[in-house]
A and B are shown apart, each in its own frame.
Chain A
Amino acid sequence: MNMKRIASGIAAAGLASGLTLASWMAQAEETIKVGILHSLSGTMAISETTLKDTMLMLIDEQNKKGGLLGKKLEPVVVDPASNWPLFAEKTRELLTKDKVAAIFGCWTSVSRKSVLPVVEELNGLLFYPVQYEGEESSRNVFYTGAAPNQQAIPAVDYLMNDVGVKRWVLAGTDYVYPRTTNKILEAYLLAKGVAKEDILINYTPFGHSDWQNIVADIKRFGSAGKKTAVVSTINGDANVPFYRELANQGISAEAIPVVAFSVGEEELSGLDAKPLVGHLAAWNYFMSVEDPANAAFIKQWQAFTKNPKRVSNDPMEAHYIGFNMWVKAVEKAGTTDTDKVAEAIIGVKVPNLSGGTSEMLANHHITKPVLIGEIQEDGQFQTVWQTEGLVPGDAWSDFLEGSKDIVADWTAPIKCGNYNSKTKVCSGQNF
């Protein structure tokens, strides 16, 4: 083993530490970096690319207003490529190499779960904009999408009280969000006196494309003489073949309405909406909401994407709210320091796009209105029902056995994401 070889070994190690050097130099620049962690390739690119563009637009807009704390904001875009370990790797890179002040990103639950240990370890900030299953409240994550009580439960209430549904099909893709949501809904329905045989639960794999017999089952289940509805937590790509099959087998929205939690304007723009007319979706925002702020947002978005037909959707609004909350909190704290911002952001209120004012709660969820809309032929929603005021997001569902006693409160004195109000114990913290 001669010296040359050892030297080459050192050189290789030096190459690796080049990363560290790069981060050194980054500190010298006078910008505030914002990480954007959305898949631009792979299976999730279909949903997440839009959110990347939304963030670029919001940052651009903020810079036009003079930036933040007198500095310009600088977006750092990376592509985690729908690959869950890569999400963790990229988060680590954003936090240590790029030293971003906050990360806006993730879509699927599993990507959030991959990122979670990293943001907690490195004490970063993550704004997560998608409706999810709840049962989580991290010190470092802010959940600007809907918790189950801000989407699923109001939708079921609407169907039960206003449409008179007596029989329920809970259809979902087999992953954590539908599983949890359906567990919550099942408990809720049983508590409301729905008989067990009036609930049909069905799970399908990701990207399921052959819905023939499931739709036939739904049709049969719905022909028992009681008003039936389908509560769909079917994910992304499986929806198009599902709705097509529904329409082709002649199940109209008047006979068996489907209320979906994952079908928004953007998904509708990718399919022929005619067979879907009248089916429902529950969200916290619709592009069709008549509100000056919304009109301005849509105009700005269409100008930014140079596409006058480009639609907006609910997760985009969640980023809009989340970003504005972060900006306000940074201004309030006077720094981008994670701990100070995390403290300052609780109680921050910013206008949402449906005419109300959303507030960041102590459990790191926000208040949102719940809207139920019927799909129109042009791929837009017509709001048919909406909550009176805003609904506060509930991190821990009251309808699950394990979590009904748990609360999240990140203000003193509790300062805990999973505080058992019975035993007065805060468990599961990583610090």
Chain B
Amino acid sequence: MLLQRLLSHDRGGQILLVLLLAVMVLVPVLNLAVPADSPFHLSTTTVTLLGKYLCYALLALALDLIWGYCGILSLGHAAFFGLGGYAMGMYLMRQIGDRGVYGNAELPDFMVFLNWQELPWYWLGFDQFWFAALMVVLVPGLLAGIFGYLAFRSRVTGVYLSIITQALTVALMLAFELNSMGFGGTNGLTDFKEILGAPITADSTRVALCVASALMLALAYLLCRAIVTSRYGRIVLALRDAESRTRFCGYKVEHFKLWLFVFSAVLAAIAGALYVPQVGIINPGEFKPLNSIELVVWVAVGGRATLYGAVAGAFSVNYAKTWLTSVYPEAWLFALGALFVLVTLFLPKGLVGVVATLRQARADGSLQRNWQRLASRFGVPTKGEQP
């Protein structure tokens, strides 16, 4: 069947999907059904953290699709993530209704105290979930479409493209920081109460959001996989490796790039929309250029052009960050910085590249040799213990 076709020859993808399935099943059971004092209980904190990581993973997947497979290094992908988040945030904001601190049913709190008289037109419709959901997809998709159309048509490539995507996200950050824009300025949108009628802080809502993120990630993975294994995907790969040659073969390179870019932007936006209710706030900090660069680092650490590698990278870097900021609050940046340097120097294919190398080695019997080489590089004693 289709699933089989997509996942054959994709060991990483199989593992990923099993894990995601486990999350979808185990998270509700362990959090909601298992009593809180049991050692097997999964705390809501962990669920929220897991949900957040899943959103980051989806974002990383979106970037890997265009960077790994199409060679478009976007240094502004967090912009689409942020836009999706804002669309969702606006819906959540409207759901507050008259339960805001000023009890104003018409206006969000930040508009009340800055003396806004009426809701700006672009806020209209966001009280409906379907409209907000549409906007989550439409606004970033449209922006990516216009931006991509202009950029790819005039053959902006490589570093130039990276830098103007960076300029895009900086411009958006500054624009959203403007209080007069009506998006809550630097504080952004917060104080959410409920989503689709369910209280946003309830355990069941959090579990549902976490499961939805896992589901979305699984679907997105399959979609991306479908794209890269299709005929379309092969052309994309071709144009990554030899753009001019592909163009001379008669393919409209711009179209392929554009559609992939838009699709990737939409995935990023959906990640943002799932992220906001779990974190409880969306603000222009999400557009920070550093966020986009960090995102690139996740993908690189995990391993480019593997899709599952991006997911692994997002999880490992973010977990490292969570862990290090608590354990070594003073020195964690050294560790993180060193990690980036070492990964680029010694693991050009990322973390999943190591696994692949080992598997390859085991297959052809050269594991012992390779392991010794790897180990000596890291200064690990080579007692011959296999990982």
Contact = CB atoms under 8 A, between A and B. Distances in A.
> Is A in direct contact with B (CB under 8 Å) within the complex?
yes
Interface of A: 1, 5-6, 8-10, 12-13, 16-17, 19-21, 23-24, 40-41, 77-81, 83-86, 88-90, 92-93, 96-97, 108-110, 113-114, 116-118, 121, 135-136, 174-176, 179-180, 183, 203, 205-206, 400-403, 406, 417-418, 420, 423, 425, 427-430
Contacts of A12: 19, 22
Contacts of A113: 187-188, 190-191, 281, 283
A401 B115 contact: yes
Interface string B48-82: 11101000000000000000000000000000000
B48 A92 contact: yes
A174 B178 contact: yes
Given A96-B45, A183-B115, A403-B113, 16 more contacts: A10-B26, A20-B46, A77-B329, A79-B326, A84-B285, A113-B190, A114-B279, A136-B101, A175-B177, A175-B179, A175-B185, A183-B114, A205-B177, A403-B112, A427-B99, A427-B103
A89 B21 CA distance: 25
Contacts of B185: 174-176, 179
A203 B114 CA distance: 15
Interface in B271-328: 279-281, 283, 285-286, 321-322, 325-326
A428 B100 contact: yes
Contacts of B112: 402-403
B329 A78 contact: yes
Nearest to B275: A85
Contacts of B257: none
A369 B158 CA distance: 59
A401 B113 CA distance: 7
Contacts of B228: none
Contact of A5 (B15, B102, B191): B15
A116 B42 CA distance: 23
Contact of B283 (A1, A110, A179): A110
Contact of A9 (B19, B50, B100, B102): B19
B42 A13 contact: yes
A114 B191 CA distance: 9
Contact of B325 (A19, A86, A401, A406): A86
B326 A110 contact: no
Q: Interface residues of B toward A: which range?
A: 35 or more
Across the A-B interface, the 6 shortest Cβ-Cβ residue pairs? A9-B22, A427-B103, A79-B329, A428-B101, A175-B186, A402-B112
Nearest to B104: A402
20 contacts: A8-B15, A8-B19, A20-B41, A78-B325, A84-B285, A86-B321, A89-B48, A92-B49, A110-B285, A113-B190, A117-B191, A174-B185, A176-B179, A401-B115, A406-B101, A417-B101, A427-B99, A428-B99, A428-B100, A428-B109
A420 B186 contact: no
Interface-central residue, A97, A109, A117, A206, by most chain B CB under 10 Å: A117
A406 B102 contact: yes
B386 to A, nearest CB: 16
B110 interface: yes
A386 to B, nearest CB: 29
Contact of B190 (A6, A81, A114, A206): A114
Contacts of A116: 190-191
Given A17-B40, A40-B329, A77-B329, A92 B18 contact: no
Given A92-B48, A174-B185, A180-B113, A83 B285 contact: yes
Nearest to B102: A402
Contacts of A400: 113, 115
Nearest to B44: A96
A425 B44 contact: no
B21 to A, nearest CB: 7
Nearest to A418: B101
Contacts of B40: 17
Nearest to A176: B187
Interface in B137-183: 174, 177-179
B30 A180 contact: no
A317 to B, nearest CB: 24
A397 to B, nearest CB: 8
A78 B190 CA distance: 23
Contacts of B18: 1, 5-6, 8-9
B45 A97 contact: yes
A188 to B, nearest CB: 14
Nearest to B107: A402
A65 B96 CA distance: 47
B22 A425 contact: no
Nearest to B40: A17
Contact of B42 (A20, A403, A420): A20
B357 interface: no
Contacts of B332: 41, 79
B186 A176 contact: yes
Contacts of A88: 279-281
Interface-central residue, B188, B190, B329, by most chain A CB under 10 Å: B329
A117 B280 contact: yes
